[in-house]
A and B are shown apart, each in its own frame.
Chain A
Amino acid sequence: MVQSVDHAALLPTYLAAGTALLVLLVDLAIARRAAVLTVAVLGAAATGVAAVVIGRGVDRSTFCTAAGCSYVADDTGALLAVLFAGLTLVVLLLSVPALRSLPAGEYCFLLACAMTGGVALGFSRDLITLIVSLETLTLPLYILVGLRRRSIGSAEGAVTFFVISVVATAVTLLGAAFLYALTGSVHFGGLRAALADNAALRDIPLTAAAVVLVLVGLAFKVAAVPFHAWAPAAYDGAPVPVAAYLSTASKLGGVVAILYVAVDALRPWLDVAGPALAALAVLTMTVGNLVALRQRRMVRLLAWSSVAQAGYILAPLGAFALAGGRTDEALSLAVAATIAYTVFYVVMELGAFGAVIALRPGDADGGEIADYRGTARTHPWVAGAFVLALVGLAGLPPGLAGLFAKVVVVRSLLGGQAGWLAIVVALNAVVGLAYYVRVAATLFGPTTETEKRVRVPWAVAAALGAATAVALVVGFAPQLVLDAAALSQLGR
């Protein structure tokens, strides 16, 4: 029996994978940086456009069995595909200076592979596809992190990232295997049904262990404490655009995976996962912020800040899982808050990394924070964008996007009657501001030497401008993001 495949639904994934292959071919045929980059950028753009088109149409499902469908092209998936494609596009532009010393063709190819994984991830509705997609998103990044091949830091970062990732994958896989063993299903729908209907499973502690193992393994992806220690080393070792990708697209992937698994597949067991998620959220934001206070290197600081941000992202879900009345309404609120915060965060993080790239000469690494002293005088616009991104991450005006992001989270926490978690988030925001403001103040500090003004490549400027513009737009019209987040069918 040959199954009919809905190729239209698969279009974004096809385009993403096609981009990867095309990049490889173009690199073989032309071997020019510009050509490869153009193809990659166009491919990413095409993927995004296709995702928009698919998203606007009716929901399409394919690869369906009796247990459920593996691939559903609904609004959520389309939104995520657009995000992955957009992030890849911006990171490609940001990579222009870095590509002077990196193999451009392979670099773009790997990034396109990661994008393929991300796009597929957004549409996947079973554990196998999800894990395979997630691995496809992650594996190219090991290499990209290690791509500064003369740098020990790069190699160390790559090995750290790789080892922790493999271990975490093993943990996730074990959990998934147990879930399959217990329920006989890997589709989210099947899992949910089995977990909800089969009362016997409730009495087996193994089920709880399986649920936790899956989620814990995925928590590695978002760099939640205690699965976070790879992040600073990997971010700092990697070429800066790759760090940007790690902290945005890769983290988005982790969030999506956790959301899908927790909300869609393991919904009946969220009360078991709840305390774990809440504890992870608290630990993550606190440890991330505290360590970030003491950082000397720019990218490491951003890495730790992104650890802390992961805590805020996890908080609504943890709060929901904890709170008393777990109504569907509260869940969709929590999911929307998570997605909305992630979107706000991704935009601002991209802005911050974009500014770092713009302020550093050529393909240099992130450098020390002190190296940025006085850049407000030499590059007022870039510094302005940087400050906007930083205060956005801190959640204060004029970074309205960040402010609304915090508001979204706190609102969902209080709506879920998790006031204490809201207070923890609030206090963490104070600690967070301490280091964001330190960095911002450094930009305005006096220059120690008369530094030569680095020219900002147009691609980087465009990418940074786009990220900043988006941050401003969603800052003044956060409803756009909230509407998009509310489209999610998760938890309904």
Chain B
Amino acid sequence: MSIDTLGPLLPAVPFVAALLGLLLPQRSRTVAAVLGIGGAAGALLIAIDLALRVDEPYSTSVELVRFGNLPVMFGVLIDQPTLLVALAVGVVALAVQVYSVAYLADDDRYAPYAAQVSLFTAAMLLVVVSGDLIVLLVGWEVMGICSYLLIGHDRRLPEAPKAAVKAFIVTRVGDVGFLLGIVVLGVNAGSFQIADVVGSPLSTTEGTVAALLLLAGVAGKSAQFPLHTWLPDAMAGPTPISALIHAATMVAAGIYVVARLYPVFSASPVPLAVLGVMAAITMLLGALAATAQDDIKRVLAWSTVSQLAYMVGALAVGAPGVALFHLLTHAAFKALLFLAAGSVIHAVGSNLMSTMGGLRRGMPVTFWSTTIGLGALIGLPPLAGFWSKDAILAAASEETGWVAVLVFVSGVVTVLVTAWYATRLWLRTFFGEPRSDAARHPHEPPGAMAWPVALLAVPSALLGFAAFSGGFETRLGVHDLVHLDASILVPLVVLTVGVLAAWLVWRRDTAADPARVLGPLRPVFANAFYIDNVQDALVVQPVRALARSVRRVDESIVDGAVEGTGDGTLRLGEAVAGVHRAGLSRAATAVLAGALLIGLAAVALGGVQ
């Protein structure tokens, strides 16, 4: 098959799988599983095939529709980074699909779930390959709705529906900006084709405005401050979904789009500065919030927020390739961590670390996989995360300007905090005495769950070495990914400090939570600096109040005017009818008085003429 048709097939295969899956009756688990896994596997195979065959960027397009002078093209724009991300998506999606078969073994709504995961995959792949911003937006939003559906999947969790709505609305708020940004770019270029948009000159103001608008969408999707609040709540979804959302799809989309449209952002300093500040804040915020969580998935969720900020930081310092590198490694180790956490939860029956402990003996595979994942997360050499994080810090240190300094400093501090909370998670989960009955008798999950975890450990551990391959660097469009010089010592030292600090605190009382040393800051971190509450008070409640008052105004004033006109007419009718409820003589008076008045008026008028 020619690569021209393969490109569009990339999202099409899982899309068809999703469509068929949605039409299935709920009971047909097997077919659903085949469709789900088949869709993801098909996409992965196509991605591999393309990766092997495509050397030069290429694009195809057909006109989807034409609005006035603005055509919307359906087409793909495929280059090397595209395929790397597509591969990552394929791998994670396949892992998630396989894992889900077992994880949702006793869920009677598995069929729609699998189809929705397929749709999610298709949407992400559409974002990845699309050559047209409008079509990209299609994928972008479909992903949002899929995240909504999947987060709200769990019927037992009372907070699930709310979290799902929150995830969609918060990202949708950002998408207002994203849409407007696309509109600015498209109207300016007279086309929504990415190639045209990137190639057509923008005035500085327009460019800045467009970039900032797009950033709002990116912040929403990639969970950057201040639109990050949906992500931890999204943990209400089934664990594989968390893996999917946090690893390769959804959150990655924002980073990917910035990288794809990088010329728009780099054209003026303002967007980059905003990116930098956003990254610095989010990085620390996420990491600090992760220190005080008891829910294992929330720890991972906040770590995602923080890690995404690294990628944003890389973008801010002019290194989109590096950002994609971290995206890939993060996809691997975060998928691993979530799936592993899923195994733990599966075994313990709870999300809370206070009910775990000492699990390493009962679940060795999970333990070792998690250890690799956490090592990659904190940047332990030579695991994957080390290389990519190091590349980001190096890129920041090489760049000049306050933004770069800010990114670098916050990056290093975050390494410390990350090391601390990762260690805490590791120790609290797998060491010490079991703190609940379930934790005393842990068991490894079934193969369908264990294998994806184990397999994902491979890239988590080794993907970093890809940085040594020149081909990989070319594909990401960067040089010198590897910086084996003295500057790597700074993060390594900081890392060690973090790990040791956590270990020392833990060792004093292995049953207690190391987070206790945070003292009064603990609730602040646990509640992520109360940003949720602030948002609720500043945005949600006012909007609700506004809605209520608008409804009141609409019903009592706007409609009141209408009803009032009706009633008024009737009352007037009543009044006029009242005048007629009189004797015959009033009629005579009316005739003669009327004649007199009209006569007088006519005489007066006639006199004028």
Contact = CB atoms under 8 A, between A and B. Distances in A.
> Is any CB of A less than 8 Å from a CB of B in the complex?
yes
Interface of A: 156, 159-160, 163-164, 167-168, 171, 202, 205, 207-209, 211-213, 216-217, 220, 226-227, 229-230, 232-233, 271-273, 275-276, 279-280, 287, 289-295, 431, 434
Contacts of B607: 205, 208
B360 to A, nearest CB: 79
Given A159-B584, A167-B588, A293-B569, A216 B606 contact: no
Contacts of B576: 287, 290-291
A233 B569 CA distance: 23
Given A208-B602, A216-B599, A273-B602, A163 B574 contact: no
A287 B584 CA distance: 18
A279 B572 CA distance: 19
Contact of B595 (A171, A205, A275, A293): A171
Nearest to A215: B598
Nearest to B584: A160
A292 B584 CA distance: 19
B590 interface: yes
A85 to B, nearest CB: 31
A383 B593 CA distance: 42
Given A294-B570, A294-B577, A160 B591 contact: no
A212 B602 contact: yes
Contacts of A208: 599, 602-603, 605-607
A32 to B, nearest CB: 38
B601 interface: yes
Given A232-B580, A293-B570, A294-B573, A276 B591 contact: no
A293 B606 CA distance: 37
From A160, A207, A289, A294, name the one whose CB has the most chain B CB atoms within 10 angstroms.
Answer: A294
B609 interface: yes
* Tier of interface size on chain B: 20 to 34
B587 interface: yes
Nearest to B574: A294
A275 B587 CA distance: 23
A216 B609 CA distance: 21
Contacts of A159: 584
Given A287-B576, A290-B569, A291-B573, A275 B601 contact: yes
Contacts of A227: 590-591, 594
B507 interface: no
A219 B573 CA distance: 22
Given A211-B602, A227-B591, A291 B609 contact: no
Nearest to B606: A208
Dominant secondary structure of chain B at its interface with chain A: helix
Nearest to B569: A431
A48 to B, nearest CB: 34
Interface in B498-556: none
Contacts of A164: 584, 587-588, 591
A291 B601 contact: no
A216 B570 contact: no
Given A208-B606, A227-B591, A276-B602, 7 more contacts: A160-B584, A171-B595, A202-B609, A212-B599, A227-B594, A229-B580, A292-B573
B603 A163 contact: no
B157 interface: no
Contacts of A273: 602
From B580, B591, B599, name the one whose CB has the most chain A CB atoms within 10 angstroms.
Answer: B591
A276 B599 CA distance: 9
Contacts of B593: 226
B587 A276 contact: no
Contact of B588 (A163, A213, A295): A163
B68 to A, nearest CB: 36
A272 B602 contact: yes
B595 A217 contact: yes
B193 to A, nearest CB: 51
B598 A276 contact: yes
Given A213-B595, A293-B570, A275 B605 contact: yes
A163 B231 CA distance: 87
Nearest to A204: B606
Nearest to A159: B584
B592 A167 contact: yes
B441 interface: no
A205 B588 contact: no
Give the top 6 A-B pairs by smallest Cβ distance, nearest first. Answer: A208-B606, A229-B587, A293-B573, A226-B594, A290-B573, A226-B590
B602 A226 contact: no
20 contacts: A163-B588, A208-B607, A209-B599, A209-B602, A209-B603, A212-B599, A212-B602, A216-B594, A220-B591, A226-B593, A227-B590, A232-B580, A271-B609, A272-B605, A272-B609, A275-B602, A276-B598, A276-B601, A290-B576, A294-B574
A83 B576 CA distance: 34
A271 B609 CA distance: 10
A216 B594 CA distance: 8
Given A160-B584, A160-B587, A167-B591, A213 B599 contact: yes
Nearest to A291: B577
B483 interface: no
Contacts of B574: 294
B479 interface: no
A156 B577 CA distance: 19
A205 B604 CA distance: 8
B597 to A, nearest CB: 9
B155 interface: no
A271 B602 CA distance: 10
A213 B595 CA distance: 7
A402 B570 CA distance: 24
A220 B592 CA distance: 11
Interface in B268-299: none
Contacts of A207: 606
A226 B587 CA distance: 8
B463 to A, nearest CB: 74
A441 to B, nearest CB: 16
A208 B601 CA distance: 9
B586 interface: yes
A217 B595 CA distance: 8
A273 B580 CA distance: 27
Contacts of A232: 580
A271 B573 CA distance: 32
Contacts of B570: 293-294
A294 to B, nearest CB: 5
A292 B607 CA distance: 38
Nearest to A435: B573
A291 B570 CA distance: 9
Contacts of B577: 290-291, 294-295
A338 B228 CA distance: 73
Nearest to B603: A205
A244 to B, nearest CB: 22
A293 B586 CA distance: 21
B425 to A, nearest CB: 72
Contacts of A291: 573, 576-577, 580
A208 B600 CA distance: 9
From B590, B598, B602, name the one whose CB has the most chain A CB atoms within 10 angstroms.
Answer: B602
Nearest to B593: A226
A405 to B, nearest CB: 23
A171 B606 contact: no
A216 B603 CA distance: 14
A160 B609 CA distance: 38
A217 B584 CA distance: 18
